[in-house]
């Protein structure tokens, strides 16, 4: 089963660490990153989709994606 996550955050080192942590846990980048201005906070926001194969596990919507 292929699992999908969409990571988002402010354009700062914390977002980069979030993506790096996902990659270190076996997630792979999926598609291009997104970058947009948030007019409410007046800050740039980043987003990156990641996927990972979870073998031999049925889908459970109550389970956190990081637990697959």
Give me the domain span that covers residue 34. 2-58
Give pLDDT, residue 19.
97
Judge whether 22 and 65 are in contact, CB under 8 Å. Answer: no
pLDDT single digits (tens) 54-64: 888 888 889 88
In a domain, residue 46? The reply is yes
pTM exceeding 0.85: no
67 in any annotated domain: no
Residue 50 CB partners (closer than 8 Å, separation 6+) = 4, 5, 6, 7, 19, 22, 23, 27, 28, 29, 30
Residue 68 lies in a domain: no
pLDDT by residue (tens digit) across 14-64? 999 999 999 999 999 999 999 999 999 999 999 999 999 988 888 888 988
Count of the separate structural domains present in the chain: 1
Quote the pLDDT of residue 42.
95
Distance from chain centroid for Cα 16: 11
Query: Do the domain assignments include residue 19?
Result: yes
Residue 65 is assigned to a structural domain of this protein:
no
Confidence of residue 5 (pLDDT cuts 50, 70, 90): very high
């Amino acid at each position: 089963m292929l699992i999908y996550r969409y990571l988002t955050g402010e354009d700062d080192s914390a977002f980069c660490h979030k993506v790096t942590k996902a990659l270190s846990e076996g997630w792979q980048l999926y598609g291009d990153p997104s970058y947009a201005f948030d007019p409410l906070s007046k800050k740039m926001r980043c987003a990156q989709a990641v996927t990972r194969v979870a073998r031999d596990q049925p889908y459970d919507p109550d389970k956190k994606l990081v637990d697959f």
